[in-house]
Chains A and B, each alone.
Chain A
Amino acid sequence: MTEPFDELIEISSQIDAAVLFDGTGKVIASTLPDDRAARLASSARALFEEAGRVGEGDPTQLEAATAAGSLFVVSDGVNLIAASTSPEPTAGLVFYDLKSTLRSAAKPKPEPKVKPAAKGKPKPKRAPAKKNAKP
């Protein structure tokens, strides 16, 4: 599950840290150590839930801009991804990268191709028995 995150950090120069988690706040993947990832997921989930009470309907994504940096949260309806950036990032690019990562993470992994069992060496055919050439 870390492949989409490796790509995300590699592609997006603006994202400092990111965590993918489910609706219950359980961390699925993260660029942070476990304890910090859990704290980030918990706060981001609380933020997203609180944001749902502000407008009509549930938000699909949000940006919280503070003097210390920005926090982005994107949901696909099942999982959520939260990412932190430095102040004044290019929001459109960050949202695009986060949505791409969510999509990649949601894709089922292709099953590894199973090689057909190697056949054993064919048994050498037994040469037909020579007829006894005795007169």
Chain B
Amino acid sequence: MRSRRVLALGLAVGSLLGIGLYARRGKAQERIDLYFADGSLTSLHGDSPQAAVLLAHAREALRAAGA
């Protein structure tokens, strides 16, 4: 009986960890790459405040596109 509880608890903790890691992975993928006329590139990481505003527009555009 006790081993079942431990197994269930282990599964629950493992699932939560998995969900957390998956969400983090998804978040880490988010970024904005800006290419300028002089050939320079600025890459904004998804969790930067500057990227947040740009990503909101991008998500809206992707929703319109049906992605």
Task: Name A residues whose Cβ lies closer than 8 Å to a Cβ of B.
Answer: 16-17, 32, 36-37, 39-40, 43-44, 46-47, 50-51, 54-69, 71, 82, 84-88, 91
Query: Which residues of B sit under 8 angstroms from A37, Cβ to Cβ?
Result: 64
Stretch in contact with the other chain, from B2-10, B11-19, B47-55 = B47-55
Q: Does B37 contact A (CB under 8 A)?
A: yes
Besides A64-B61, A69-B65, 9 new A-B residue pairs in contact (Cβ under 8 A), listed by A number: A36-B64, A36-B65, A43-B60, A43-B61, A44-B57, A64-B57, A66-B62, A68-B59, A82-B61
Number of interface residues of B (CB under 8 A): 29
Query: Which residues of B sit under 8 angstroms from A56, Cβ to Cβ?
Result: 36
Structural contact, A71 and B33, CB atoms closer than 8 A: no
CB nearest neighbor in A for B25: A67
Alpha-carbon distance between A40 and B65 when the two chains are bound, in angstroms: 6
- Interface of A, helix, strand, loop or mixed by DSSP: mixed
Q: Which of A39, A51, A56, A88 has the most CB of B within 10 A?
A: A51
Alpha-carbon distance between A36 and B37 when the two chains are bound, in angstroms: 30
Q: Does B1 contact A (CB under 8 A)?
A: no
Structural contact, B30 and A66, CB atoms closer than 8 A: yes
Query: Which residues of B sit under 8 angstroms from A68, Cβ to Cβ?
Result: 59, 62, 67
A-B contact pairs, 16 of them (CB 8 A): A32-B65, A50-B54, A55-B40, A57-B37, A58-B37, A60-B37, A62-B32, A64-B57, A65-B31, A66-B29, A66-B62, A68-B62, A84-B62, A85-B67, A86-B67, A91-B33
Alpha-carbon distance between A56 and B62 when the two chains are bound, in angstroms: 26
Q: Does B21 contact A (CB under 8 A)?
A: no
Query: Which residues of A sit under 8 angstroms from B50, Cβ to Cβ?
Result: 54
Structural contact, A59 and B36, CB atoms closer than 8 A: yes
Asked, given contacts A16-B67, A40-B65, A66-B55, whether A55 binds B60 with beta carbons under 8 Å apart, the answer is no
Structural contact, A64 and B38, CB atoms closer than 8 A: no
